[in-house]
Structure 1
């Protein structure tokens, strides 16, 4: 989906000035987002552990995930839903590293999962 198509779709539900779409690889783009930006919704569609950890660790470490943020993991059940791989592994590592308190909102679709973040401790 192009950034333009995504903006058109999401602006049906949110004001355009509140939507920020950043095109590129997580490891190249996320570290360049100013820390003043806070995320209320993250849709993580990176398929691999490396992609998920790039975005999650960068945002958690800079305190950029808002209290009450919804995190959507598109490929949660890939790799036979093995917790040692993919998005499941990345999420578990972040929960442990940042002492994330969250609610599990369950599955959506066939391989996807969602959570609400209540609080976490920024690692120093």
Structure 2
């Protein structure tokens, strides 16, 4: 075997060119056969088309926290502040730092109740202990369909701000089925998995539009994350 450090420079250069060319060719070959990468490219193309058709003039942001902050800045009145899908507590603590009222965080902490998509099976996102949260955060542990009915009965206020970070169509539908009567014009909703992933048309966005149709409400986009999957809306009264 040759020691490349002892080879003449002209041969080293030739050898390096060969290695680099081989690596590039190999990389392209793998990329062309990468199904997941292809599915994501397709999802991105569909999302770009959706943004062009439905969000003209809507300003984008480049992080989920920036979108949460923008949504919170548009909250009017004294209403409920809720997050669905707490996980590590990162986003709910961000929300809590922007308000002077209680923030309700709903999560089973048992992970996904069912498969979401490739790589995210039942139980994904399970945590062994509750996250550390700000003093004004109230965690409500349990599956949404079990915890929401009693919560709704105990609250007289409408919902001012929702952060929906539960991934699944079924979980999002449960939220809207239970909170629907408390979601009024002016309510701000930030979705964490709205689009830009394989299968997005069957997820949170589908449950949201079904809710709008059922309750005869309109909405307006107020922002989206140009680097990921988040979008934010404000609920409007029907024309």
TM superposition score category, shorter chain reference:
0.7 to 0.9
Give the TM-score of the pair, scaled to structure 2: 0.42
Correspondence 1:13 to 2:132: no
Q: Is the 8 A contact 1:35 1:64 kept in 2?
A: no
Higher strand proportion, which one? 1
2:141 is paired with a residue of what secondary structure? coil
Matches within 5 A, 1:1-124: 1=87, 8-15=93-100, 17-21=101-105, 22-33=140-151, 34-60=154-180, 63-77=181-195, 78-82=197-201, 85-108=202-225, 109-119=227-237
Q: How many residues align?
A: 114
Moved more, 96-105 or 48-57: 96-105
CA gap of 1:31–1:119, structure 2 versus 1, over 3 A, is farther
> Would the aligned equivalents of 1:79 and 1:86 in 2 still touch at CA under 8 Å?
no
Structure 1 CA distance for aligned equivalents of residues 96 and 174 of structure 2: 27
- Where does the alignment leave 5 or more consecutive residues of structure 2 unmatched? 1-86, 106-139
Instruction: Go from structure 1 to structure 2 and tell me whether the alpha carbon gap of 1:13 and 1:110 turns closer, same or farther (over 3 Å shift).
Output: same
For 2:94 and 2:231, how far apart are their aligned partners in 1? 21
CA offset at residue 6 of structure 1?
6.3
CA distance in 2, matches of 1:107, 1:9: 17
Instruction: Answer with 1 or 2: which has the greater Rg.
Output: 2
Q: Normalising by the residue count of structure 1, what TM-score does the alignment of the two structures yield? A: 0.76
Partner of 2:53: none
